[in-house]
């Protein structure tokens, strides 16, 4: 015991009286918590196998929104489950949490974002965190913070760590002075929503970072996206999702846009396919960094007529929401996506009839299962 005490006393003296004659600074070391969802039990921090480096390491922000879960499923099938990490500030449902890596990530927390990118060796980043059109108009300060400040954090981290970055844009990036039928890739953009303004800002900042810092920035302007896997999230085009849920549930649907409001639309499978296609496209094939993509264009009345082929007794009323209608009236009626089709071979699979049939096949089956249970 005497030996131990002497060693302890000697060590204490060394720490208090450094040989260099300067003050000793004891720097606290903060341990970064690692979620068991982030790291496999057999992970090696010293070497990476060839099979792991074969594929990109992907992070999806805002992953619990309309597109994130579906994109993760597609990418995991292609690149391996553990190479694709979903993130959000919300608690994921069980079927999402147990289907692959999920971590908490606040895009307004710059330091936390950097830790995630570094700790998980991220190489591709899909930035889906955003407040949509109608929700953004109801809370402009929050939309400004999430859609613009959050984007700046993402751009800086992506440039610093040489990531390939995808940021979705929208039909909302155009305004009432833009040509509407069709709307080309390059034209006047003067949107009148904070959502649209933030997306124009994202397009321009992404292109600037590409030319100034060499950031591999890629962007698609999405039309309205229709999916059976998620509930409407506050977008102006969400009526085209809500109609299916209401038709199956009670045979009645109230539309918040005029019956003749024509907007470009797309089934989610086409949207996800286009997103992966543009990310995998050789950089040399891209003549621009932001592309329009489209599949179809229809009005609420045309959608109703197609839905009635499946549910003839559907009752439809129109109760126009002034805010959403004004937004829709400033958006394109048709997208010109000829550049995407030429540069990297974009081609859609679903037209209106196939979209409606697919939605009823999925939601109808789910409804029957629920009734049985």
DSSP, collapsed to helix, strand or coil, labels residue 154 as: helix
- Cα separation of the two ends of the chain: 70
Taken as a whole, the chain contains a residue count of 373
Residue 373 DSSP label: -
State the greatest distance between any 2 C-alpha atoms of the chain, in Å, as a whole number.
93
**126-to-49, 57, 145, 235, 349 alpha-carbon distances in Å:** 24, 11, 18, 20, 23
> What six digits make up the tokens of 84?
């694709």
The CB density around residue 368, as the number of other CB atoms within 10 Å, is 11
CB contact set of 29 (below 8 Å; sequence gap of 6+): none
> Which of 104, 110, 128, 195 is an active site residue?
195
* Residue among 298, 163, 316 at smallest CA distance from 237: 298
**131 Cα distance to chain centroid:** 11
Q: Is residue 211 annotated as a catalytic residue, yes or no?
A: no
Interhelix angle 239-250/300-307, nearest 10 degrees: 30
Return d(Cα 258, Cα 223) in angstroms, integer.
18
Surface-to-core class of residue 202, CB atoms within 10 Å of its CB (0-12 exposed, 13-18 middle, 19+ buried): buried
Give me the residues paired with residue 224 across strands: 265
CB contact set of 75 (below 8 Å; sequence gap of 6+): 58, 83, 84, 276
Residues identified as active-site = 195
């Amino acid at each position: 015991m005497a030996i131990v005490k002497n060693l302890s006393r000697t060590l204490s003296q060394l720490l208090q009286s450094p040989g260099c004659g300067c003050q000793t600074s004891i720097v606290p070391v903060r341990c970064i918590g690692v979620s068991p969802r982030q790291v496999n039990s057999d992970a090696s921090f010293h070497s990476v196998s060839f099979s792991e480096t074969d594929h990109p390491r992907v992070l999806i922000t805002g992953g619990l929104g309309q597109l994130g879960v579906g994109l993760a499923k597609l990418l995991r099938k292609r690149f391996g489950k553990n190479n694709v990490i979903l993130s959000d500030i919300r608690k994921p449902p069980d079927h999402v949490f147990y289907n692959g890596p999920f971590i908490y990530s606040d895009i307004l927390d710059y330091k936390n974002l950097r830790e995630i990118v570094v700790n998980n060796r991220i190489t591709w980043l899909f930035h889906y965190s955003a407040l949509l059109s109608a929700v953004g108009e109801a809370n402009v300060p929050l939309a400004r913070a999430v859609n613009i400040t959050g984007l700046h954090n993402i751009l800086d981290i992506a440039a610093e760590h040489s990531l390939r970055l995808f940021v979705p844009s929208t039909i909302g990036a155009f305004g009432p002075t833009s040509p509407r039928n069709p709307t080309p890739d390059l034209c006047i953009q003067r949107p009148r929503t904070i959502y649209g303004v933030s997306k124009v800002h994202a397009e321009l900042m992404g292109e600037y970072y590409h030319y100034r810092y060499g950031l591999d920035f890629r962007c698609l302007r999405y039309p309205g996206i229709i999916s059976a896997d998620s509930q409407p999230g506050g977008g102006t085009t969400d009526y085209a999702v809500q109609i299916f849920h209401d038709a199956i549930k009670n045979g009645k649907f109230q539309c918040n846009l005029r019956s003749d409001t024509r907007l470009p639309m797309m089934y989610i499978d086409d949207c996800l396919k286009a997103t992966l296609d543009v990310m995998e496209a050789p950089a040399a094939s891209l003549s621009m960094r932001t592309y329009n993509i489209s599949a179809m264009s229809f009005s609420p009345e045309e959608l109703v007529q197609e839905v009635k082929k499946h549910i003839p007794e559907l009752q439809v009323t129109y109760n126009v929401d002034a805010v959403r209608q004004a937004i829709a009236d400033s958006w394109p009626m048709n997208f010109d996506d000829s550049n995407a089709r030429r540069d990297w071979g974009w081609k859609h699979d679903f037209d209106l009839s196939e979209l409606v049939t697919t939605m009823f096949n999925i939601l109808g089956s789910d409804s029957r299962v629920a009734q049985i249970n």
